[in-house]
Structure 1
Amino acid sequence: MARMAGTAARAEALLGLGVVSTTPVAGGDICTTTRLRLTDGRGAVIKTRPHAPEGFFEREAAGLRWLGEADGAKVPTVLAAAEDCLVLDWVEPVKPSTELAERFGRDLAATHLSGADGFGAPQDGFIGLAPLPNRPLPTWPEFFASRRVMPYVRAAVDRRALTSDEATTIEAAMRRIHDLAGPAEPPARIHGDLWSGNIVWGADGNVWLIDPAAHGGHRETDLAMLSMFGAPHLQRILDAYAEAAPLADGWQDRLALHQLHPPLVHAVLFGGTYGSRAAQAAHSLLSA
């Protein structure tokens, strides 16, 4: 009860509105999420984490705002962002449907096609609690190898979550990345961490994006993340996307390349077998 009261008081101070009620929201290993009912009748959600890394919530807020500028897939409105919390509009969830999936596929394509200034972002960010280097590079293969793969290979080796032989295999794949990456594309405006837990199927008829690691990247990266972890009506999403924004030939064969990053992040954060999974994926790319 004391924690809830403190959360309500923090939201009231940031919003200048009263909080009528608070309700814990299930899930979320990184942050504590609480639903708020405000005195003006609106619903909101506040995410908190004690001793969050510097800039943690502010970077998430910036990513949401940037994605929202695309007039594509919906994102919650940022009501307040501070060092210790983030307050967003509440999205009422609903059961996934094929109709929502088709709309989401088209909307995600619109977000991607709205583009970015380059491959990367003005500031580094976070994926989970792991730092996410974003300094731009001229091409996507350079960016992916230098900002999304090799930093985590080095960190996973230091953590002993990746052997030197496994690291060598991944490095060999990165040396061939220009051959593996497929046709060059302009920078896309991507979510960057698009697994099913970061989409909300909304009762208003939209599918909403949350918890982004937003940057200018390759649009196949978001699709690879969805495919890796699965999503309701995934094939409908992919089909609707491809109708709105056709993908280059062979994109399915490149999913394994884009899927190198998530297990490396997990290896750094959690250890276990994630490093070996990344090495196996790199081996498959080299053997293709």
Structure 2
Amino acid sequence: MSSTFIKTAGYGDNLPGEAAALRWLAEAERSGGIRVVRVIRASDDVLEEERVITGAPSAAAARRIGAGLAHMHAAGAAWYGCAPDGWRGNPWCGRARTPYVAREDASTSWGVFFAEHRIMNYVKTLVDRGDFDAREQRLFESVAARLASGEFDAPQPALVCEADVPCARLHGDLWAGNVLWDASPDAPTGGVLIDPMAYGGHAETDLAMLALFGYPYLGEVVRGYDEASPLADGWQERVGLHQLAPLLLHCVLFGGGYLDEAVRTALRYA
């Protein structure tokens, strides 16, 4: 087996941008951040990475993953919705073209950012192509209004607050398939991150994404995170709110049952 993994460009891919995101996340390793797959070379057509040898899930590794994510988030980002340092090319992340936010357009609060650049950005696409009707549009506008008012704003986890950074450094697509179990001899952080859609945001969004589709020993991941960087009061009640962004993204990409699930979740916060 080759010691490296080769990823070739498909529609909408920005492989140099993905490489920049991986390097940006990996900067946090020196301060305890979770391990990130190593970039060997990147071009417009090819991204070559180290090949990760995966191991079996365990409670102990899950706790280390949680702590590593906490330290990665605390590395911080310059503003809500910012691109990773070194990003070049198109001004969006991922094939659904989720927009990065220019510094001059940055919001000072998470709620305003999440309402405008996540919730309503996706909803506009879904309304324009007929997946959502006027009633569903009004539902998400109600959620967005509550977000923009600051009603759901909450402190970042403790390490992010202590770092005195504008917001957290997020992986951005933190589902189970992108957090590999590390089989290396010492496995210092329990896992290895791949395939980011990295940006500056609220740390709770990454954790909510990991919970959305399930992850082995998720409770231990959260335990390890909370021990390293205590989460703000009421974080459990905000999980569904943070999950609205990936749910709506899946509506844009795949439609189907995600449309009903997004609506059901939005009703809890309207």
| Shared fold (TM-score, shorter chain, > 0.5) | yes
1:78 maps to what in 2? Answer: 39
1:200 maps to what in 2? Answer: 180
Contact conserved, 2:8 with 2:47, CA < 8 A, in 1? yes
Identity of matched residues, %: 43
Contact conserved, 1:166 with 1:276, CA < 8 A, in 2? no
Matched letter for residue 56 of structure 1: N
Matched letter for residue 8 of structure 2: T
Query: Which TM-score applies when normalising by structure 1?
Result: 0.80
Name which of 126, 139, 164 aligns with 1:169.
139
1:132 maps to what in 2? Answer: 98
Residue pairs, 1:1-288, within 5 angstroms: 37=2, 43-50=3-10, 52-53=11-12, 56-71=14-29, 72-122=33-83, 124-127=91-94, 129-135=95-101, 136-177=106-147, 178-183=150-155, 186-204=166-184, 205=187, 206-286=190-270
**Structure ID, larger Rg:** 1
Greater RCO structure (CA 8 Å; 6+ sep): 2
> Cα deviation per residue 1:236-255 (whole Å; 9 max; x = unaligned)?
00001000000110000001
Shift of 1:105: 0.8
Query: Which TM-score applies when normalising by structure 2?
Result: 0.85
Shift of 1:137: 2.5
Contact conserved, 2:15 with 2:44, CA < 8 A, in 1? yes
Tell me how many residue pairs correspond in the alignment.
243
Q: Secondary structure at the match of 2:28?
A: coil
Of residues 101-110 and 55-64 in structure 1, the stretch that sits farther from structure 2 once superposed is 55-64
Contact conserved, 2:93 with 2:100, CA < 8 A, in 1? no
Q: Structure 2 unaligned runs (5+)?
A: none
The structure 1 segments of at least 4 consecutive aligned residues displaced by more than 6 Å after TM superposition are none
> Cα deviation per residue 1:118-171 (whole Å; 9 max; x = unaligned)?
1122463323x2101111332211211111111110101122222221121011
- What value does the CA root-mean-square deviation take over the aligned residues? 1.6
Contact conserved, 1:189 with 1:219, CA < 8 A, in 2? yes
